[in-house]
Amino acid sequence: MPSITVENYLKRIFLEQQESGGEIVSMGRVAQAMGVVPGTATTMVKSIAESGWAHYEARKGVRLTEKGNRMALAILRRHRVIEVFLVKILGFDWTEIHEDAERLEHAVSDRVLKRIDDLCDNPNVDPHGDPIPSATGEFRSRPQMTLFECPIDQPIRIARVLKQEPDFLQYAEEKGLVPGAWIRVIERNPIADAVTLHLQNRGQITLGGKVAADITVE
Amino acid sequence: MPSITVENYLKRIFLEQQESGGEIVSMGRVAQAMGVVPGTATTMVKSIAESGWAHYEARKGVRLTEKGNRMALAILRRHRVIEVFLVKILGFDWTEIHEDAERLEHAVSDRVLKRIDDLCDNPNVDPHGDPIPSATGEFRSRPQMTLFECPIDQPIRIARVLKQEPDFLQYAEEKGLVPGAWIRVIERNPIADAVTLHLQNRGQITLGGKVAADITVE
DNA sequence: TGTCTGATTTTGGTCAATCAAAACCCCCGC
DNA sequence: GCGGGGGTTTTGATTGACCAAAATCAGACA
Ligand SMILES: [Mn+2]
Ligand SMILES: [Mn+2]
Ligand SMILES: [Mn+2]
Ligand SMILES: [Mn+2]
């Protein structure tokens, strides 16, 4: 029912909402995230609200309705299941699948998604470690520690890589900094804004805080 | 580069052109095939011509350029490879895949198509027996006989089922009238416009000429 | 050759999605 | 309490895709 554009807005708004802990999302932020001019975001959000996907308050921001939430989760699910498919079945690298998933998520019907999901053994995280909403719309993003908060000098496993920039993912792949990998935090220096890791037989590296906060472990 | 809409027009024009033996295609026909009003077809075809995909002659019709042809073949290839994928890998029935392929054909990138194609063992016909253009754009639709022209009382194999209507495909499936199946033409009566077939241990049926002409054999 | 008629094109309008730039308004600091 | 300023909304336009209906034209037929 929603157009491809609206689907993208819904997913985006949902994600931004998540990221800010359920806060109402400003038009500036929507515009930024969608790569459009603020006026466009305003107009689109208003029409999305019109259709009952969201509540919009002028000069405050937007928040998805129950219905909007369900829709957003369905789209997110499609995106992430497809990412698993691209890696697990088609053999792509986890660093270069985002774009394709971004287009396919709007073309895959429920029945096709079901089969793909089965073919992938009903995964519950995608190749970046991001949780996959269930077919019924359940979605628990159980809170994890980032490399900035986790215990030191203990073997821990990478859970998610939040940052999506291809360059960074490439780098992470190279260093074996991938979801599921075991590492150890050697040292953490808040003043220097740096975290030093010991990678599984790949020496050690030091990351800045910005990046360290975008990698979660468990 | 072309929008989804334009992709659909290109594929459609190509197919109509094929079907009429390379003739120029009238606006009425394009409109009909695309399910739009004639004025819309005129406008769209003009803009498609503008972009160099086709030649348009007012009150004559449209014919694809070399470039348009290549594009159309690429889309047709995507469509048909995806159909194979839906049947062979995802396990769908050949009678109910068209709609999904229709949407996916616009969302699958070259690299994804390549992998899917490999996964399916580089087929050269789709589940309806329709030939798949090669990745380089070769497309030989070697002429076949229809049930109306083929030799009588000889074992022959179904090659293609041209008719795409779900109801008919369902019926064909039921009767084992599927690409690859062996049958025998028992009787042909041009006056009664009827062809009687012997199906592999499924008795015999009689088809009208309209339908018989839409099934080819080899 | 002139006339009709059905196919085609044009015209005028809508809707979705977008931008540029002007208008607006809310809150923050003096 | 009063401005400013920055984020937000409006306004005016554009582009793509479409429809309804009026205008046009080309070929068939008399
Ligand atoms: Mn998308
Ligand atoms: Mn992901
Ligand atoms: Mn299509
Ligand atoms: Mn087919």
Q: Is the CB of B26 under 7 A from strand C?
A: yes
Domain span at residue B166 reads 145-217
Backbone φ and ψ of B127, nearest 5°: -65, -15
Q: Which of residues 16-35 of B touch strand D (CB under 7 A)?
A: 34-35
Please report the pLDDT score of residue A200 as a whole number.
81
Please report the pLDDT score of residue A27 as a whole number.
98
Task: Kindly state whether residue A197 falls inside one of the protein's structural domains.
Answer: yes
Taking the Cβ of residue B81 and every Cβ of chain A, the question of whether any pair is shorter than 8 Å is answered with no
Question: Does residue A150 or residue B7 have the better pLDDT?
Answer: B7
Q: Give A57→chain B minimum CA distance, Å.
A: 34
Candidates A86, A106, A111; nearest CB to B107: A106
Candidates A92, A100, A112; nearest CB to B100: A112
Residue with tokens 């215990």: A151
Q: How confident is the model at residue A63 (pLDDT cuts 50, 70, 90)?
A: very high
What distance in Å separates the CA atoms of residue A128 and residue A163, rounded to the nearest whole number? 9
- The CATH number linked to B41 is 1.10.10.10
Mean pLDDT of the region B5-14: 98
Average pLDDT, rounded, for chain B: 94
Q: What is the 3-state secondary structure (H, E, C) of B146-190?
A: ECCCCCCCCEEEEEEECCCCHHHHHHHHHHCCCCCCEEEEEEEEC
Please report the pLDDT score of residue A30 as a whole number.
98
- The CATH number linked to B186 is 2.30.30.90
Please report the pLDDT score of residue B16 as a whole number.
98
**Which helix (H) or strand (E) is A196 found in, with range?**
strand A194-199
- Yes or no, beta carbons of A91 and B116 under 8 Å apart: no
Q: How confident is the model at residue B210 (pLDDT cuts 50, 70, 90)?
A: confident
- As a whole-number percent, the residues of chain A with pLDDT over 90 amount to 75
Q: How many domains would you assign to chain B?
A: 2
Q: Residue-wise over A16-25: b if at least 16 C-beta within 10 A, else e?
A: bbeeeeeeeb
Final residue of a structural domain among B49, B64, B79: B64
Nearest CA in chain A to B86: A112
pLDDT higher than 80, residue A201: no
Please report the pLDDT score of residue A58 as a whole number.
98
Task: Kindly state whether residue B118 falls inside one of the protein's structural domains.
Answer: no
Task: Flag the least confident range among A47-56, B53-62, B112-121, B146-155.
Answer: B146-155
A163-183 pLDDT tens trace: 988 898 998 898 889 999 999
pLDDT higher than 80, residue A38: yes
Final residue of a structural domain among A64, A83, A114: A64
Task: Kindly state whether residue B82 falls inside one of the protein's structural domains.
Answer: no
A103-158 pLDDT tens trace: 999 999 999 999 999 999 999 999 999 999 999 999 987 778 888 888 889 999 99
Nearest CA in chain A to B118: A90
Task: Kindly state whether residue B42 falls inside one of the protein's structural domains.
Answer: yes
Task: Kindly state whether residue B186 falls inside one of the protein's structural domains.
Answer: yes
Task: Kindly state whether residue A69 falls inside one of the protein's structural domains.
Answer: no
**Which helix (H) or strand (E) is B204 found in, with range?**
strand B204-208
Please report the pLDDT score of residue A25 as a whole number.
98
Please report the pLDDT score of residue A35 as a whole number.
98
Q: Is the CB of B59 under 7 A from strand D?
A: yes
Residue B154 CB burial class (10 angstroms; 0-12, 13-18, ≥19): exposed
Q: Is the CB of B1 under 7 A from strand D?
A: no
Q: How confident is the model at residue A190 (pLDDT cuts 50, 70, 90)?
A: confident
- Yes or no, beta carbons of A116 and B86 under 8 Å apart: no
Task: Kindly state whether residue B208 falls inside one of the protein's structural domains.
Answer: yes
What distance in Å separates the CA atoms of residue B196 and residue B5, rounded to the nearest whole number? 41
Please report the pLDDT score of residue B107 as a whole number.
98
Q: Which of residues 38-77 of A touch strand C (CB under 7 A)?
A: 38-40, 43-44, 47, 59
Final residue of a structural domain among A27, A45, A64: A64
List, as one string, the DSSP characters of A10-60: HHHHHHHHHHTTTPPBPHHHHHHHHTS-HHHHHHHHHHHHHTTSEEEETTT
Please report the pLDDT score of residue B183 as a whole number.
93
Taking the Cβ of residue A115 and every Cβ of chain B, the question of whether any pair is shorter than 8 Å is answered with yes
B127-151 pLDDT tens trace: 999 999 999 999 987 788 988 888 8
Rounded to the nearest angstrom, the distance between the alpha carbon of A200 and the centre of ligand 4 is 49
Please report the pLDDT score of residue B149 as a whole number.
85
Q: Give A114→chain B minimum CA distance, Å.
A: 9
Task: Flag the least confident range among A21-35, A41-55, A196-210, B102-116.
Answer: A196-210
Task: Kindly state whether residue A105 falls inside one of the protein's structural domains.
Answer: no
What distance in Å separates the CA atoms of residue B204 and residue A193, rounded to the nearest whole number? 80
Nearest CA in chain A to B83: A112
Please report the pLDDT score of residue B48 as a whole number.
98
